[in-house]
A and B are shown apart, each in its own frame.
Chain A
Amino acid sequence: KAGVTQTPRYLIKTRGQQVTLSCSPISGHRSVSWYQQTPGQGLQFLFEYFSETQRNKGNFPGRFSGRQFSNSRSEMNVSTLELGDSALYLCASRPTSPLREGYTFGSGTRLTVV
């Protein structure tokens, strides 16, 4: 059974550019979440999607957006990149039930903004 796949693994962008990260969840998982990981702030919740609907969004500016497609694949977009957006972006998926199941994470996309 394939795990959570995130592409690309590494990305270097210039300030002011925009970027799109992709996440393919485990087959059958309809819930997808995104997290930003930085040395200073740790792991912070970005968004959660279920069946193409955003269920919740973390405390991030509007430059951060996301979406989920009918096949449960998800993308997140960051516009007008800032140096502080440099981070590891992790995607995770979870089965609808049972609720006690934990999220399975991908290996992340390392974004560097220069």
Chain B
Amino acid sequence: AQTVTQSQPEMSVQEAETVTLSCTYDTSESDYYLFWYKQPPSRQMILVIRQEAYKQQNATENRFSVNFQKAAKSFSLKISDSQLGDAAMYFCAYRTAYSGAGSYQLTFGKGTKLSVIP
């Protein structure tokens, strides 16, 4: 079974600064997808960024980028120019790329609570 570990329960960053959230995972599969989701107090999980394991290039979405190290099974999220609206819980998630049963459930880490200091 796959596991996802987020070792930082809480983090804080000054507005306009850069912060990196860590995520490691364990899997025996070679092809899979990794995601970062953001959950603000409104409770809705919002997809921040996605990485396909077969792609060596790190994904980037505006101020959000990842550092994907497949051999190390590491998938960190970097938020540049942090804004007050970035304050939220951030969850790292894993999903298989191939399922004989057609099931593509997400396996989540415990989350990192990010605070942004004005």
Q: Chain A residues in contact with chain B, CB under 8 A?
A: 31, 33, 35, 42-43, 45, 48, 50, 55-56, 58, 88, 90, 92, 94, 99-100, 102-108, 110
Say whether B45 contacts A90, CB under 8 Å.
Answer: yes
Binds A, one of B14-22, B76-84, B104-112: B104-112
Would you give the shortest CB distance from A46 to chain B, in whole angstroms? Answer: 9
Partner of A48, one of B43, B105, B108: B105
The yes or no answer to B85 lying at the interface (CB within 8 A) is no
Contacting residues, chain B, for A107 (C-beta < 8 A): 42-44
Q: Which of A48, A56, A102 has the most CB of B within 10 A?
A: A102
Instruction: Please count how many residues in chain B sit with their CB below 8 Å of the partner chain's CB atoms.
Output: 24
Say whether B102 contacts A92, CB under 8 Å.
Answer: no
Say whether A50 contacts B50, CB under 8 Å.
Answer: no
Contacting residues, chain B, for A56 (C-beta < 8 A): 101, 103, 105
Say whether B104 contacts A31, CB under 8 Å.
Answer: yes
Main secondary structure of the interface of B (DSSP, over half): loop
CA distance A44 to B52 in the complex (A): 22
Encode contact with A along B2-17: 1 for CB under 8 Å, 0 otherwise: 0000000000000000
Say whether A50 contacts B44, CB under 8 Å.
Answer: no
Q: A92-B45, A105-B44, A107-B42 are in contact. Are A43 and B103 (CB under 8 A)?
A: no
Contacting residues, chain A, for B33 (C-beta < 8 A): 99-100, 102
For the complex of A and B, the 4 pairs showing the least CB-CB separation, nearest first, are A56-B103, A105-B45, A43-B108, A55-B103
Partner of B43, one of A55, A58, A88: A88
